[in-house]
Amino acid sequence: MAPGSYPLLNMAQGIVTAGITRLIGNTPLLRIRMFERDFPKLEVYAKAEWFNPGGSVKDRAALSMIEDGERSGALTHQKTIIDSTSGNTGIAYSLVGAAKGYRVKLVMPGNVSAERKALVVAYGAEIVYSDPLEGSDGAILKVRELVAADPDAYFYPDQYSNPANVRAHYDGTAIEILEQTSGRVTHFVAGLGTTGTFVGTARRLKDQDAAIHTIAVQPEDSFHGLEGLKHLPTAIVPKIWDPSVADEVWGCPTEPAYDLAREVARTEGLLVGHSSGAALWAVRRLAETVREGVVVTVFPDSGDRYISTGLYGSKAR
């Protein structure tokens, strides 16, 4: 069964499902109103990915990669799932691993938010910390060392190289967007981390309609505060990155992204993370150019896992 497709029994008291992983995918598409006054002919929507049970878009990729490993025989209960992560994929691995009975070990930069660390531990996963100054690339190098030292002990999905990451969005996220907009989407905007969300979704949208304009968003330089996003020119480039599906790649500054994350929380009740602020920055830049259309973006997670970072602790009104 494909990730995100699940049989439900509707009853008077709610919804009954066979397990928590069956609730991954099929997230709401929310209308975003913050740009309407200046751009009344532009419809903006965002996939609310914190509705996934693990709280982020990474639930989709983690489930897809783990189930792909099960089908291929590469993953057995004698092996430990291991990967590098800045947080959200680690939480997703931990949730899915717990639900399916697998041990999970994660390599995370030491400076990821306290909330992310606590969530991983809550699901029973083991954390190995990498040098915080080396960011996500340092975590990648560390996990490769661990796997090379004992390859038979681990199932290493490698979210940055695994085609199942892309397929989760090609077969899931993009189809949902097309259905939820009745095929009216004209522009797609999303951030670049592993690049799986953008590549899988953009590829499927363009297969449906090559005229759909796709914009990828990355930090404007290597020193940034946009947790979860990668500045590709100065980072280890994910093997799954496919620049051919991006009509444009824009570099987002940190502070304007933070400002927009705060604004959408205070004006629309949407508490979102750093990367959602970056997506909003790109949508606003796009709006100034096109002024009309149907723009869809992805809000990868909720801001509740960034409270300790100070994202919402300044510029209060």
Over range 172-188, report the average pLDDT.
98
Confidence at residue 6, expressed as pLDDT on a 0 to 100 scale:
38
- Coil, strand or helix at 84: strand
pLDDT, one tens digit per residue, over 152-165 is 999 999 999 999 99
The amino acid at residue 136 is S
**314 against 6, higher pLDDT:** 314
The per-residue DSSP string of 207-257 comes to HH-TTSEEEEEEESSSS---TT---GGGS---TT--GGG-SEEEEEPHHHH
Residue 13 has pLDDT above 50, yes or no: no
Per-residue pLDDT at 36? 96
CB 257 within 8 A of CB 300: no
Catalytic residue among 64, 86, 136, 275: 275
pLDDT bracket for residue 16 (50, 70, 90):
confident
Instruction: Identify the sign of the CA torsion 105, 97, 229, 164.
Output: positive
Residue 64 bears catalytic tag = no
DSSP SS3 for 133: helix
- Say which residues have a Cβ less than 8 Å from residue 314's Cβ, sequence separation at least 6: none
CA distance 270 to 261: 8
User: For the chain, where do the domains classified as CATH 3.40.50.1100 start and end?
Assistant: 12-52+165-309, 58-155
Residue of 58, 117, 142, 206 marked active site: 58
DSSP annotation of 301: B
The verdict on whether 56 is a catalytic residue reads no
> Domain 58-155 belongs to what architecture?
3-Layer(aba) Sandwich (3.40)
Q: By three-state DSSP, how is residue 108 classified? A: strand
Q: Which two tokens stand for residue 310?
A: 């100070």
Which tokens hold the place of 259? 């400002």
pLDDT of residue 155: 98
* Token duo for residue 167: 């397929």
What CATH number is given for 12-52+165-309 in this structure?
A: 3.40.50.1100
Query: What pTM does this model have?
Result: 0.91
- What pLDDT does residue 11 have? 35
